[in-house]
């Protein structure tokens, strides 16, 4: 078993690289531990709460007890299936703000500013607005990744946009275009009523080529010879084998599993590797450090009218939705239901948004448990740029054992202030005239939870991960001691090894991470192929003219 390039992980970035490298005529083997994504639980957008709670599709990771969140262990789902986490996520498509990528470049990720990455977003997208606005000049229309908008027919979906405008925030027709800031319709990776995962967009077309092969196996470590990666050791059908790479090994196994694999291969903090009896190939103290995520709360309201999706939250209702989708790929099952939302700034003096809203026209948890109050609606809200940092470390040298995941959530005092602001600003939007016909009472936190101390207690007990881990092998200049990959995604200190997935983000981006993860795969493919990057796009993103003095 050998190829020019061996890619570990058939997730968002891995699928994109398999597509582009095989398109260029290179032979590619993709190693994926998970199985097939066939079946309605993954392919039907409306069933999104199922796959991330199924051991068949999810690695099933949990954080260590989080000291600032009442020692709760938070679920950390990662896709163990072709398509990776793009096969089990909420399908919300967010590029990130221009300021995120300009910050990356300032921190040493040369060539990754917004002007550098915008052409890759355009290359990968096949975007349609679904008749709900947007700016085609900022979008791509012939890439592999189909992005569209739900119909927005539920009156609550539009009420959120109207209420945001009534509260004084701008309306933005395309938060992935010139203006992220504001409220408006949401984009989703859905095509013709089907989840358009990285597997559907990139891997399936790649596997139709003779030079791309998928191998179902567990990667154990990168095989190193004289400081060079030459292959990947895997467990397959009960045997240990080596898959050889003639040119390069590429890790794209997630921000949890990629640093784990580096450390198992002898690349990481030398003292930590020595603790587990692993021979040090390259002492890179940044491996597994800089772990970041988005936390969020569900601010839930009970509805005074039966307008929410709760009417389908029973066996006959779910049967109707499922049948309609199976027969025609239409109806509620054809949408992720995150059809409106927004990005706002928490205070004057913040240059670009630091709070995200996902609006959902039902009061329900991620695990599919509906609120006891029946009809309702909710906003998922949380800060975008937490200052807290965590780490991923080895529990043992056994490749089959889960790593230790310590997010260290809410360890910075600013996080608490930002989260209280999130709750209060959400309540203000829900209190606008647009929601007057529907508002009954607040389910959570509840109208009696008002003081800082009461809000802090609610946050500590109810904050949940938005499932956006990243940053554990961050990109930087080769002379940066804490950088793990250089701006061409080469692992610093070894030859023939690259890493390209959300691990390399110097700092978490605004919004959901699927889009920037795919973009990383697209751009990394050009670096791997030795091509000149796409020409910079210097389109000027919108920034609130009074951001220094006004919050909205």
Half-sphere exposure of 77 (CA within 13 A, CB side): 26
Query: Is 115 in contact with 538 (CB distance < 8 Å)?
Result: yes
Residue 82: closest CA among 42, 44, 142? 42
Query: Is 66 in contact with 408 (CB distance < 8 Å)?
Result: yes
Binding residues for FAD, as ranges, are 81, 89-92
The Cα angle at residue 28 between residues 534 and 257, in degrees rounded to 5: 85
CA 9 → CA 232, 260, 351, 545, distances in Å?
Answer: 12, 13, 36, 43
**Residues 28, 15: Cα–Cα separation, whole Å:** 11
Q: What is the dihedral of CA 215, 219, 223, 228, to 10 degrees?
A: 80
468 part of the active site: yes
Query: Is 143 in contact with 203 (CB distance < 8 Å)?
Result: no
Residue 338: closest CA among 467, 157, 191? 157
Binding residues, as ranges, are 81, 89-92
Whether residue 445 is preceded by a cis peptide bond, meaning omega within 30 degrees of 0, is: yes
Residue 95: closest CA among 189, 164, 194? 189
User: End-to-end distance of the chain based on CA atoms, in angstroms?
Assistant: 58
SS3 content of the chain, % helix, strand, coil (to 5): 30, 25, 45
Tokens of 443: 């389910």
Give the residue ranges of DSSP H helices in 402-444: 413-430
Question: Pick the catalytic residue: 276, 468, 527, 544?
Answer: 468
**Residues 389, 437: Cα–Cα separation, whole Å:** 42
Catalytic (active-site) positions: 468
């Amino acid at each position: 078993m050998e190829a020019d390039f061996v890619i570990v992980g058939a997730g968002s970035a891995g699928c994109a690289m398999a597509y582009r490298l095989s398109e260029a005529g290179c032979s590619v083997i993709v190693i994926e531990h998970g199985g097939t994504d066939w079946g309605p639980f993954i392919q039907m957008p409306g069933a999104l709460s199922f796959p991330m709670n199924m051991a068949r599709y999810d690695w099933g990771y949990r954080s260590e007890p989080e000291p600032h969140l009442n020692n709760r262990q938070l679920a950390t789902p990662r896709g163990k299936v072709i398509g990776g986490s793009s096969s089990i996520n909420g399908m919300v498509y967010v590029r990130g703000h221009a300021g995120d990528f300009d910050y990356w470049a300032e921190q040493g990720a040369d060539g990754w500013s917004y002007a550098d990455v915008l052409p890759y977003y355009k290359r990968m997208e096949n975007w349609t607005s679904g008749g709900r606005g947007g700016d085609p000049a900022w979008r791509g229309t012939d890439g592999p990744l189909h992005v569209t908008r739900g119909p927005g027919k539920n009156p609550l979906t539009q009420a959120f946009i109207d209420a945001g405008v009534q509260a004084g925030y701008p309306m933005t027709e395309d938060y992935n275009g010139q203006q992220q800031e504001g409220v408006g319709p949401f984009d989703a990776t859905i095509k013709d009523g089907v989840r358009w995962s990285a597997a559907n967009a990139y891997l399936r077309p790649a596997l139709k080529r003779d030079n791309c092969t998928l191998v179902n196996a567990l990667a154990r470590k990168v095989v190193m010879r004289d400081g060079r990666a030459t292959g990947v050791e895997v467990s397959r059908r009960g045997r240990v084998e080596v898959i050889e790479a003639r040119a390069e090994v590429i890790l794209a196994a997630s921000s949890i599993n990629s640093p784990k694999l580096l450390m198992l291969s002898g690349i990481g903090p030398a003292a930590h590797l020595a603790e587990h009896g692993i021979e040090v190939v390259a002492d890179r103290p940044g491996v597994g450090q800089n772990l970041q995520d988005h936390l969020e709360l569900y601010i839930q309201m009970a509805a005074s009218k039966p307008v929410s999706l709760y009417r389908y939250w029973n066996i006959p209702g779910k049967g109707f939705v499922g049948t309609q989708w199976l027969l025609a790929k239409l109806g509620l099952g054809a949408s992720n239901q995150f059809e409106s939302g927004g990005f706002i700034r928490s205070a004057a003096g913040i240059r670009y948004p630091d709070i995200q809203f996902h609006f959902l026209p039902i009061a329900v948890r991620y695990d599919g448990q509906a609120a006891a109050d029946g009809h309702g609606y909710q906003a998922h809200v949380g800060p975008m740029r937490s200052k807290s940092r965590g780490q991923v470390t080895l529990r043992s040298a056994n490749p089959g054992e889960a790593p230790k995941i310590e997010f260290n959530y809410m360890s910075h005092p600013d996080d608490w202030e930002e989260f209280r602001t999130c709750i209060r600003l959400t309540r203000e939007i829900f209190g606008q005239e647009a929601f007057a016909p529907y508002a009954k009472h607040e389910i959570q936190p509840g109208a009696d939870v008002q003081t800082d101390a009461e809000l802090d207690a609610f946050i500590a007990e109810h904050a949940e991960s938005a499932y956006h881990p990243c940053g554990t092998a961050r990109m930087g200049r080769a002379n940066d001691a804490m950088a793990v990959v250089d701006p061409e995604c080469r692992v610093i200190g070894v030859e023939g090894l690259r890493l390209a997935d959300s691990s390399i983000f110097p700092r978490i981006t605004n919004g959901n991470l699927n889009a920037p993860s795919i973009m990383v795969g697209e751009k990394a493919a050009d670096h791997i192929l030795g091509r000149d990057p796409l020409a910079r796009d210097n389109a000027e993103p919108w920034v609130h003219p009074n951001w220094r003095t006004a919050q909205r």
